[in-house]
Amino acid sequence: MFTQPKFLSNQFGFSLALIMLTLTDSGGQAFSQALPNPYRIVDDWAQQLPDGREMGAVGDVTMDPDGDHIWAIVRCDAPTELFGWECLDSDLDPILKFNLEGELVQSFGGGMFIWPHGIFVDQDGNVWATDAISAARTPEGTRGHQVVKFSPEGEVLMTLGTPGVPGNGNYSFNAPSDVVIGDNGDIFVTDGHGNSTNNRLMKYSSDGTFIKSWGQTGYGPGEFRELHAIAIDSRGRLFVADRWNNRVQIFDQDGNFLATWTQFGRPSGVSFDGQGRIYVADSESDDVQNPGWEMGIRIGDAETGWVSDFIIFPWGDPRVVMGNGAEFVAVDRDGNLYTGEPRPRQLRKYVRVRP
C-alpha cells in the first residue's frame, strides 16, 4: 500500500508522523524509494582541482548568496583510514568556492582545521565553518572544537570555542557539527557530532555573546543523539538533523520545540530552496539503523512535510559499494542540486529535468 504521511498534533503541541511514506511489498517490508526522481547527474562536475590535488571527503556544501557559486568544506586529501582527522598534517585549503560549472575560483583556511565539517555563508558573504574533531582524537595545539567566521576573502573575523579543548561551557564545544546564521545575525551552532558529545544547540548574538543553549542526549522532544546539521527555513524555523534518532526536529529561534518529522529518513543534511521545498540527505539508512528506508535525497513541502520526490544514489547500494552517499545538499535558483560525499570523496551536481 502506498501512502503519504499524515500528521496530528497531540496535547504537548508536537507533530508525529503517523503514517510513513512507504511502498509495502507482499512480504510486509517497507521501502521509501517509491517516489519519482526528476534529476539527472552532470558527469565529472567539480572533479578537476588545481595542481593535481585530489578531492578529499566532502563535509558540507552551501550556496553563496549571489546564487552563482557553491561553497564546500573538504577534509584535505588524506586517505580514508585517517577518518576523523584528515587535515591534521595538511596545509591544503579545506574551504573551496566553485562556480556553477564546477570550476574552483577561490580557497582558504589551510592549516586551521583538523576535521572540517559544517559550512554556511551569511547574507554578507561571510563564511562560517566548524571543526568537529572528536575529543578522543584531539591533539595538543590550537585547532579543533571551534566555529570560525571568515570574510568572503578568507580573513578570520571571529572564532567561537576553545581551540583544541572539548568542553560543555557557554563558550566551549565538543565536536561542533554545523552552524547557521539568522536574519538578525544570531548564531546557531549544533554542538555534538556523536552520542558521547554535548548534544545541544547553542545560540549567540552576532558579536559572539552567549544567549542560551538547549538540548541533551536522549530520545524525547528537544533531546538529541548526534546533531549532524542545521538549517533555517523562510519562516525562521530551525530544522535540526537529529541523525541517530532518525528524525528532523523543528524549533523556533528561542528554542521552543515545534515538531518532529520522521518521513525524511535518517537525516545527515537539510536545505531549502526559494520555492518552499525542503531537501534532506539521508546517507546512513539501512536495515539495522533505520529499517525499511533507503539512502538518498528526499524532497518535500517545507510547510506540511509532504514528501514528493526521491533521488536514490546512482551506484546502487552505497553501504556495500562505496561506504555512504551524499551527506549534504544545496539548491540553486533553478532547482539544481549540489551534493557533498565523504565517500567516494566527491561533489556532484544534479540538474532538474522536469517540474
Cell of 177: 557539527
Reported as a pLDDT band with limits 50, 70 and 90, residue 42 is very high
The pLDDT of 269-274, averaged and rounded, is: 96
User: Is 204:189 a contact under the CB 8 Å cutoff?
Assistant: yes
Between 30 and 350, residue with greater pLDDT: 350
pLDDT-wise least confident of 73-77, 186-190, 243-247: 73-77
User: Is 329:43 a contact under the CB 8 Å cutoff?
Assistant: no
Quote the Cα angle for 280-284-288, to 5°. 130
* pLDDT tens-digit map of 107-138: 999 999 999 999 999 999 999 999 999 877 77
pLDDT-wise least confident of 18-22, 146-150, 284-288: 18-22
Between 13 and 293, residue with greater pLDDT: 293
Q: Name residue, grid cell 592549516.
A: 111
Q: What is the pLDDT of residue 211?
A: 98
Q: What is the pLDDT of residue 24?
A: 32
Q: Name residue, grid cell 533521488.
A: 311
Q: What is the pLDDT of residue 348?
A: 92
Which H or E element spans position 301? strand 296-301
Reported as a pLDDT band with limits 50, 70 and 90, residue 33 is low
Reported as a pLDDT band with limits 50, 70 and 90, residue 34 is low
Between 290 and 92, residue with greater pLDDT: 92
Of 102, 106, 96, 57, give the one whose Cα is nearest residue 338.
Answer: 102
Of 291, 290, 268, 294, give the one whose Cα is nearest residue 279.
Answer: 268
pLDDT of residue 271 exceeding 70, the answer is: yes
Q: Give me the count of residues in the chain.
A: 355
User: Is 311:271 a contact under the CB 8 Å cutoff?
Assistant: no
Kindly tell me the number of DSSP H helices and DSSP E strands found in the chain: 1, 28
Question: For 38-352, CATH number?
Answer: 2.120.10.30
* pLDDT tens-digit map of 198-225: 999 999 999 999 999 999 999 999 999 9
Q: What is the pLDDT of residue 134?
A: 81
CA distances from 165 to 23, 172, 192, 196 (A): 47, 8, 14, 15
Half-sphere exposure of 96 (CA within 13 A, CB side): 33
φ and ψ at residue 260, rounded to 5 degrees: -120, 130
pLDDT-wise least confident of 142-151, 251-260, 285-294: 285-294
The pLDDT of 252-279, averaged and rounded, is: 97
Cell of 322: 562505496
pLDDT of residue 333 exceeding 50, the answer is: yes
Model-wide pTM > 0.85: yes
Tell me the average pLDDT of the chain.
86
Neighbours of 52 (CB within 10 A): 6
Reported as a pLDDT band with limits 50, 70 and 90, residue 189 is very high
Q: What is the pLDDT of residue 18?
A: 32
Cell of 74: 573538504
The pLDDT of 329-348, averaged and rounded, is: 91
Of 185, 138, 137, 184, give the one whose Cα is nearest residue 161.
Answer: 138
User: Is 130:178 a contact under the CB 8 Å cutoff?
Assistant: yes
Half-sphere exposure of 140 (CA within 13 A, CB side): 0
Residue 4, amino acid: Q
What single DSSP character describes residue 50?
G
* pLDDT tens-digit map of 152-187: 999 999 999 999 999 999 999 999 999 999 999 999
pLDDT of residue 12 exceeding 90, the answer is: no
pLDDT of residue 323 exceeding 60, the answer is: no
Between 280 and 31, residue with greater pLDDT: 280
pLDDT of residue 319 exceeding 70, the answer is: no
| Residues paired with 15 in a beta bridge | 9
pLDDT of residue 85 exceeding 70, the answer is: yes
**What is the distance between the alpha carbons of residues 128 and 181, in angstroms, rounded to a whole number?**
9
Q: What is the pLDDT of residue 80?
A: 66
Domain boundaries, the chain: 38-352
**What is the distance between the alpha carbons of residues 237 and 51, in angstroms, rounded to a whole number?**
42
Distance of CA 340 to the CA centre of its chain: 9
